[in-house]
Amino acid sequence: MPTITCIDDLQRLARRRVPRMFYDYVDSGAWTESTYRANANDFSNIGLRQRVMVDMSNRRLESEMLGERVSLPLALAPTGLTGMQHADGEILAARAAEAFGVPFTLSTMSICSIEDVAEHTSRPFWFQLYVMRDRKFIGRLIDRAKAAGCSALVLTADLQILGQRHKDIINGLTVPPRPTPRNLLDLATKWRWCLGMARTRRRTFGNLAGHVEDATDLGQLAKWTAGQFDPSLSWDDVAWIKERWGGKLVIKGILEPEDAEQAVAAGADAIVVSNHGGRQLDGASSSIQALPSIVAAVGDRCEVHLDGGIRSGQDLLKALALGAKGGYIGRAFLYGLGALGQEGVSESLRIIHKELDTTLALCGLRDIHDVDTRILRPGSYPLPSRPAPSTPR
């Protein structure tokens, strides 16, 4: 077993252990992947100010997100096909998050179902919702999340139309993988993954299978799913979702202040500055570049979280310094899951916690709540931009 020092080490191990189509599903963006790369690169361009000869003892990272106590201001992001990175992946990730004291967010497009995760955890988790054309199904899905005790609903706003992801097209991504010669050859080298999958019954979309009318096999389910993302979704739809849910509502996928204003007006308790990991509009702003303008617009009226590009505790600290109340990791924990299962997710959290703690101290602070732009090198970080003209709707 190689020594694990950072998220990159977990990524290299995951690349060796996860079938190519599922590894590429995680490690890819839309079209030229420019926004995917910018998410991480723009973090690295932000500099930090080192302080010395100050009291660095008794540091405190604990905080709150959506009124829930967290060991550090971080959540596991909703990621589709998590259970294809490792058998029973969503359950394992939720357990690791629970043990570490951070929220886990289950995707609509998960392999393990809402009920599966609820059965194997004791801490309430968050549920991410894709709004589909079949509103009756969506209503039932919301009801299932309520019955499972989910403590927040995370409404994804930026997947009305699927972005073009070239690696998924080239790999012929399917769940489960088709038994083509190329796939079989790849799977022959991923014996750990195959052994895990042979031992589990969870190999398709758990929140959909058995819950969709007139879809009695995987082929019909795949066909139903392909035509279900709703391009007509608008802010007017949020009202009935919020009423049906009745609890904390987060709207994810916000990159512009105008949309942040709309989200607050629609009743969001928090918004997530996110470009879907660079998997939707290639050429869109990186999440960290978009953050300051959105904080300036709505940060006094709702919590502002950030998703996209966080690969270290230093990245998380920079997001907090620019006004985020918390960050989300997707790829970072998925690499850990693919590499080492539940222990890999725990390791990814330990890495980020350690990096956050060390960097906080070296910047001269002891309490995570004291973090602001004072710790950033002047001229290296983005500033709020002037509001753009509103686009006619």
Query: Would you say 263 and 243 are in contact if contact means Cβ atoms under 8 Å apart?
Result: no
* 39: in domain: yes
HEC string of 320-358?
A: HHCCCCEEEECHHHHHHHHHHCHHHHHHHHHHHHHHHHH
Domain-located, residue 301: yes
Helix (H, G, I), strand (E, B), or coil: what is residue 84? helix
392 in a domain, yes or no? no
Q: Quote the pLDDT of residue 393.
A: 47
For residue 301, give the DSSP letter.
T
C-alpha pair distances (Å), 114 with each of 137, 220, 290: 14, 21, 32
Q: How far apart are alpha carbons 356 and 72 in whole angstroms? A: 9
49 is in an annotated binding site: no
Helix or strand run (H / E) with residue 226: helix 218-226
Task: Flag residues of the chain having pLDDT under 50.
Answer: 392-393
Q: Is residue 1 part of a domain?
A: no
Secondary structure element (H or E) that encloses residue 106, with its range: strand 105-106
CA atoms of 19 and 23, how far apart (whole Å): 6
Range of 198's domain? 7-231+244-375
What are the distances in angstroms from CA 241 to CA 115, 244, 261, 272, 349?
20, 5, 18, 17, 32
Is 381 annotated for ligand binding?
Answer: no
Residue 229 has a pLDDT of: 85
pTM of the entire structure? Answer: 0.96
Q: Is residue 311 a known part of a binding site?
A: yes
Phi, psi of 283 (to 5 degrees): 100, -10
Can you give the pLDDT at residue 223? 74
In a domain, 380, yes or no: no
**Which pLDDT score is estimated for 265?**
98
Whether residue 193 lies inside any domain: the answer is: yes
The per-residue pLDDT for range 114-162, each reduced to its tens digit, is 999 999 999 999 999 999 999 999 999 999 999 999 999 999 999 989 8
* Structure-token match 């602001």, residue found: 372
- Phi first, then psi: what are they for 84, rounded to 5°? -100, -5
Q: Give the Cα separation of 264 and 274 in Å (integer).
A: 16
What the block records as the tokens of 238 is: 């949020």
Interatomic CA distance for residues 150 and 118, integer angstroms: 8
d(CA 137, CA 87) in angstroms, rounded, equals 26
Q: Residue 82 and residue 153: Cα distance in Å, rounded?
A: 18
Confirm or deny that 330 is annotated as ligand binding. yes
So which residues are the catalytic ones? 276
Please tell me the predicted confidence (pLDDT) of residue 336: 98
Q: What share of the chain is helix, strand, coil (3-state, %, to 5)?
A: 45, 10, 45
Annotated binding residue at 25? yes
- Asked whether residue 199 is assigned to any structural domain, the reply reads yes
| Structural domains of the chain, count | 1
CATH of the domain at 327: 3.20.20.70
Tell me the pLDDT tens digit for each residue of 51-96. 999 999 999 999 999 999 999 999 999 999 999 999 999 999 999 9
Annotated binding-site residue? 366:
no
**Residue 120 in marked binding region:** no
Q: Domain for residue 389, yes or no?
A: no
